[in-house]
Amino acid sequence: MGVDLSVAETVFPLAEVFTISRGSKNEARTVTVTLRHDGHVGRGECVPYARYGETVESVMEVISSLAGEFASGLDRQALQNRLPGGAARNALDCALWDLEANQAGRRAFELAGLAEPVAVRTAFTLSLDSPETMREKASRNAHRPLLKIKLGGEGDIARLEAVRAGAPDAAIIVDANEGWSPETYAALAPEMLRLGVRMVEQPLPADADGALAQMDRPLPVCADESCHDRASLPALVGKYDMVNIKLDKTGGLTEALALKRDAQAAGLGIMVGCMVASSLAMAPALLVAQDADVVDLDGPLLLAEDRENPLLYDDMGVHPSTRELWG
C-alpha cells in the first residue's frame, strides 16, 4: 500500500501587521501536507509566495494532483525530478523526511548524516514602517542580539538611524527586498557601515543585479530572490558574498542541504531564512542552519499563535524540534 496524502490550508494570525517593500499582511497563509503510511505520519508546511507566481490555491492543486503517484510509491528522491523547486515541493519533501524518520524510529538529522543539531541564534525582524514606529519596535526588542531591518523605500537612512537609537547594542542586518537601485545602494552603503550594519540582503532586483559585479561591496551582500537552488549558483559568484537558503525556494530540505554544500564550496557565506510561518516550517530549516553565518528563523515569533509542540525560543536562540513536532 502506498502513501496517503492530504493537504489543507492553515492560517495563522500575526502578532502585528508585517510590511516589506512589496506590501503588508496581517496573517500567514500556509499549506500543510500530511502523509500517512502503515500507521506512521509525516508533515510539512510551506508558504506560497506571489513573488514567484504562487498562490495557496495553485500550490494545493499541484500537491493534490500527486495523490495518486504517492499512493503508487512516489518517494523523496523521485520527487526532486517530479516537481520543480518551490513551495509545493517543499511541503512534500519535508513531510517525506518526517515520515521516513518516524518509520525508521530515528531523527531526521541522523537520516541526513548530520550531527545532532543545537540551538542557534536567530535574527528578529522589524518590518518596514515609519522611523518613529521602527525605533519603538527596536527599543522593545533591544535585548535581542540580532535585528533584521526591512527597508526599501524613501527615508531608509532615517529608519536605520531610528533603529540604531532604539537598540544601540544589537547587531543589525538589512533586507531591501529588491527595493533599491544601484545608486541608492552606493549612497546607503557607507551609511550602513557607519551605523554598524553587518550585511545587506538583496539590495537590487534579481533581474538587475548584474550591477553588483562592478560595484564596491564594503559590507557583505546576500542573495535572496536571486538564489533559489544549486542551478542559481553560477550566476551569483562575483556579485554576492552570501546566499540566503529558504526551503520554500529550494523546494525542500533535500535540495537545501545540497545547495548549502555547493555554496560553501564556491566560497559563499550561508544565511538560512524563512517566510512568516509556524514552527513546523522552521524545524527542517534548523538542520540547514547549523554552522550558518546568519540565521533568520523567527517566523513563529511574528505569529499571534503557533502550532502545538512549538519550537522553543529563549536566550540561547531557537532550539531543535521535538519528535512530536517534526523529524
Return d(Cα 319, Cα 321) in angstroms, integer.
6
- The residues annotated as belonging to the active site are 150, 246
Return d(Cα 298, Cα 19) in angstroms, integer.
15
Strand partners for 30: 10
3-class DSSP assignment, residue 190: helix
Return d(Cα 258, Cα 254) in angstroms, integer.
7
Residue type, 132: E
Strands 23-37 and 40-46: antiparallel
3-class DSSP assignment, residue 205: coil
Distance of CA 107 to the CA centre of its chain: 22
Contact 20, 128 (CB under 8 A): yes
Tally of CB atoms within 10 A around 323: 13
Burial of 309 (0-12, 13-18, 19+ CB in 10 A): middle
